[in-house]
Amino acid sequence: MYQIEWLAIGDNQIPAQFLFHLAPSDQWYPITSFAILLTGPNGRHHVIDTGVRSPKEINDRLPPMRHWKVDPSHSLERQLMDRGISLSDIDSVLLTHLHYDHCSQISIFPRADIIVSRAEWTSVVAPYDTELLRFAYYPRDIYAWIVRDGWDRVQLIDDGDEILPGIQAWVLGGHTPGSTAYRVKTSKGFVMIAGDFINTYKNWEEHHPPGLLVSLAEWYAGYHRLAKSGSLIIPSHDPTLSARYPTGTIV
């Protein structure tokens, strides 16, 4: 059984069309970048996604209205330290996909295994169409670091794989070719950390696909699969997550 905590890494606002399929482009929504901390029954720690590495780095690519705001006192490292956890205490980093705001800090963990779906890894190092890489920020320096310095810690996983006891990968695609949700066993049942497959509670509760997709058909198939899973769904970017779980602990 795992304890699950949210760590808010930064805030932004983006056009509704990124979050909701066919939404008007003149509406804007606030979003938050989250990392998820898992603590296992053996006291070992794992992180799902890493949040934004450098607001300046990513903001240089964005118009001012879409700039990320990251409080240095709430960095991923600082929030872990506040819980008495060092970067070297993290046993594994599980990635839902390889967009900048989800994977850009994996190199700060000196000994963690790096978990990513085989389909997702292939999609960035050997894309079947480079246009798939045009509509989001892909941190190519991170992929180079993985191959050069982190490859002996990489685990390429497939749909249904048990990553750790009580954690299963669901490779759903839809948002990216290998978008992965992680089904985590807790004392209150299964929790699904959905990544950008489900950006907000509105996507989930209203059956409304995100706007940034590589396959709408995959998204609908994955949505129905999640709906049948009996899991508590945790979206990736909904700022109300912190209000729903104000202590920081989801389970």
pLDDT at residue 23 in the model = 95
Would you state the pLDDT for residue 29?
Answer: 97
The pLDDT of residue 246 is above 80:
yes
Give the Cβ contact number of residue 132 at 10 Å: 15
| Mean pLDDT, residues 207-224 | 97
Rounded CA separation 76/104 (Å) = 11
**At 129, is the pLDDT very low, low, confident or very high (cuts 50, 70, 90)?**
confident
Please choose, from the candidates 101, 105, 180, the residue with its C-alpha nearest in 3D space to the C-alpha of residue 145: 105
Q: How many CB atoms neighbour CB 188 within 10 A?
A: 11
pLDDT at position 161: 98
pLDDT score, position 34: 97
Which pLDDT tens digit goes with each residue over 130-169? Answer: 777 777 788 999 999 999 999 999 999 999 999 999 999 9
| Average pLDDT of span 190-210 | 98
Is residue 58 scored above 90 in pLDDT? no
Q: Can you give the pLDDT at residue 154?
A: 98
DSSP string computed for 101-130: HHHTTGGG-SS-EEEEEHHHHHHHHS-S-G
* 3-class DSSP state of 177: coil
Q: How many residues does the chain have?
A: 251
167-199 pLDDT, tens digit per residue, is 999 999 999 999 999 999 999 999 999 999 999
State the burial class of residue 235 (Cβ atoms within 10 Å of its Cβ: 0-12, 13-18, 19+).
buried
Mean pLDDT, range 193-211, rounded to an integer: 98
What rounded mean pLDDT belongs to the chain? 95
| pLDDT one-digit tens code per residue, 10-39 | 999 999 999 999 999 899 999 999 999 999
Asked if residue 107 has pLDDT above 90, the reply is: yes
- Tell me how far CA of residue 46 lies from CA of 33, 50, 146, 147, 193, in angstroms: 17, 11, 18, 21, 13
Residue ranges and CATH numbers for the domains of the chain are: 3-244 (3.60.15.10)
Residue 101 has pLDDT above 90, yes or no: yes
pLDDT in tens, 59-78: 998 899 999 999 988 999 99
On the CB side of 177, how many CA atoms lie within 13 Å of its CA? Answer: 16
Tokens of 56: 């300046």
Q: What pLDDT, on a 0 to 100 scale, did the predictor assign at position 61?
A: 85
Amino acid 55: pLDDT: 87
Contact 116, 170 (CB under 8 A): no
